[in-house]
Structure formats: structure tokens, C-alpha cells
Amino acid sequence: MTTAQAFADALAVSPYAGFLGVEAVSGSSDRAMMRFSPPLVGNPLLPALHGGSVAGFMELTATAALTAATQGTQGRPKPVDVSVAYLRSARPADTHARAQIRKVGRRIAYVHVLAWQEDEAAPVAEMTAHFLLADLDSTNN
């Protein structure tokens, strides 16, 4: 399977990705889009997307990119920690994200995700996350 196909599949099979309206950008192995829908809104007055919608979208993008990059060679990536910086309020519009895998070790991977709406140079949020790829104590997780 190509990396792009594995990335698209990882998002397509996730029920939560379906709930948020997240899908891979065609042919890409690291870019995804979250189509706007009213249930993503957290503040209906401003109006702005909920921080959790954006965080969930970025987490899904990171997990799918890692799953695609490590397919078959390692276990399913499990998040260890995620850190989100919110830079601008996200409008009720389509949101884009790109995952950058900064390091893949034997057991741990480190990923950076950028999320933006109309302008990639004006991101709405950034995320960094560590993932566990292989668990030595498999009973613990």
C-alpha cells in the first residue's frame, strides 16, 4: 500500500474522524481537511470552532500520518502526550492540517501538526505530540 493510501485509509476507518468530517487530501500522506459542519462550533456567538474540534482533528492527522509512515513495521501509534497552542479563533469554515513527523525512534515518535483555514501562514493552532509505537509492557496499555 502506498503511504498516501495508508494515510487516507487510517482516517476513513476512524468513526471519530467521520464524526468530525475529517478526510485525507487526495494523494497526500500528511495533509487532511476537516469540512465545516455546525456540530464543530464551540462558541456560537463569535462564532468559533470548539478548541476540542481542532485538537481532535490535529490528533487524528498526526496518528494517521504516523500509521502510514510506519505501516506494518511497528504497532499502532498510541498518544503519550499532546500539547496544543491556540493561535487564533477558528472560524466556521473548512480547516486544514499538515503533520510533520520530526522523529521516529524504535519505540517513540514525535510529531508536529499545523492547522489553518484560509491562509497557511496564519495558523489557527499548532500541536506537538509524542506517540508510543512499541510497548514493552503490552499488558499495561
Partner 1 sequence: MISAEFRAVLHQLVTTPPHPAALGFRLDHVDTDGAVLAVPWREDLVGDAGSGVLSGGVVSSLLDHACGMAVWTALKTFQPIATLDMRIDYMRAAVPQREIFARTHVFRLTRSIAFVRGLADDGDPADPVAAVQAAFMLNSDGGRRAGANLAGTRP
Choosing from 3, 23, 76, 110, the residue that interacts with partner 1 (CB under 8 A) is 76
21 binds partner 1, rule: CB under 8 A: no
56 binds partner 1, rule: CB under 8 A: yes
For 83, residues 6+ apart whose C-beta sits below 8 A from its C-beta are 127, 128, 129
Overall residue count recorded for the chain in this entry:
141
Task: Kindly indicate which of the ranges 11-19, 25-33, 96-104, 107-115 contains the residues binding partner 1, using the contact rule CB under 8 A.
Answer: 11-19
Choosing from 32, 48, 65, 99, the residue that interacts with partner 1 (CB under 8 A) is 48
Choosing from 9, 86, 108, 134, the residue that interacts with partner 1 (CB under 8 A) is 86
d(CA 13, CA 15): 6
The candidate with the shortest Cα–Cα distance to 39, out of 59, 57, 13, 65, is: 57
